[in-house]
Amino acid sequence: MEDFRKGWSLFENYQSASNGRLWIMVREDLQVQLLGKSNQFIHLLFNVPKGVGWTAITFVYASNDMLERRVLWQDLQALAVNMRHNWVLMGDFNAVKSTEEVKAVGREVVIDQSMRDFSDFMNATELIDHTSIGCYFTWSNKRQEGFQARKIDRVLVNEKWFQGDIASTVEFLPSGISDHCPALLKFGEKENAGPKPFKFFHFWIEHPGYMALVERVWSKTQEGTPMAVLYKKLRFLKMQLKDFNRSEFGNVHTQ
């Protein structure tokens, strides 16, 4: 084991979970601090190279039990309240936000309480899915009969991440022999496709959650000149509306 770890630091959560559900290996030449952990996450602070600087990264392995996941959502919301760094959360969240993120052959997918809980958590923390390439559904049971696939592995980022305009890409790789698709987060790179034009759909206005979303984003305090404040609010609103479109309308941009 020591030979395997040579040149690497190990962060695990055996004290919180008897089976050590999370192992995080970090190169010893990187500056990293342990900020907290539970049986469902490990929270680290990295000094990320390539000009990114100090960044909080929370590695998540959520429980299969909905009630235990609610504890995780509460813990992560507590972290969000005092978060002053760029923040990324990545791993297996064992939950989806909408029926669009579930594929089930032979049965109807309906909104359930687990989806509502996860959507409420995302709204409360104002976290957003990092744009990604590769596999959309990140888990499947790999069965020919009763096939199911879900988007339960994610890379989430906070508003400060977007304000910092961090050069980063996320790719969900093929699952191989696993039932999950690995998430690869790279710093110092930008997607080559270029920004897609933002489209506003008027039927969004008719949704009961639309005005609450706009008011929440617009009431958030921003720093800078009046023009800079306006730019930051519009930029974050655009990100929130894209996420709103995916979760509530099945991403009509692609239809």
Most confident range (mean pLDDT) of 67-71, 167-171, 240-244 is 67-71
Q: Using alpha carbons only, what angle is made at residue 182 by residues 177 and 183, rounded to the nearest 5 degrees? A: 170
Q: Using alpha carbons only, what angle is made at residue 143 by residues 140 and 144, rounded to the nearest 5 degrees? A: 130
pLDDT confidence of 191, banded at 50, 70, 90? low
Q: Which residues of 1-25 are buried (b: 16+ CB within 10 A; e: fewer)?
A: eeeeeeeeeebebeebbeeebbebe
Tokens of 50: 């390539």
Domains along the chain with CATH numbers: 2-194 (3.60.10.10), 197-255 (no CATH)
- What average pLDDT score do residues 46-75 get? 94
pLDDT in tens, 83-125: 999 999 999 999 998 888 999 887 888 888 999 999 889 888 8
Please name every residue paired with 221 in a beta bridge, in sequence order, or none if there are none: none
Tokens of 70: 């609610």
Alpha helices (H) in the chain, listed in sequence order: 2-5, 66-81, 113-125, 159-163, 210-218, 226-249
Task: Look over the chain and give the mean of its residue pLDDT values, rounded to a whole number.
Answer: 86
* Among 113, 115, 120, 114, residue whose Cα is nearest residue 100: 115
pLDDT in tens, 123-174: 888 888 888 899 999 999 988 888 999 999 999 999 888 777 788 899 999 9
DSSP states of 91-143: EE----SSGGGEEETTS-----HHHHHHHHHHHHHT-EEPP-EE-SS-EE---
pLDDT confidence of 188, banded at 50, 70, 90? confident
| pLDDT > 90? residue 31 | yes
Most confident range (mean pLDDT) of 17-21, 167-171, 177-181 is 177-181
| pLDDT > 80? residue 253 | no
Give the DSSP letter of residue 253.
G
Burial class (CB in 10 A: 0-12, 13-18, 19+), 33: exposed
Give the DSSP letter of residue 195.
P
- Give the Cα separation of 195 and 190 in Å (integer): 10
Burial class (CB in 10 A: 0-12, 13-18, 19+), 57: buried
Helix-, strand-, coil-residue percentages of the chain, each rounded to 5:
30, 25, 40
Lowest mean pLDDT among 11-20, 129-138, 244-253: 244-253
| pLDDT > 70? residue 251 | no
pTM of the model: 0.75
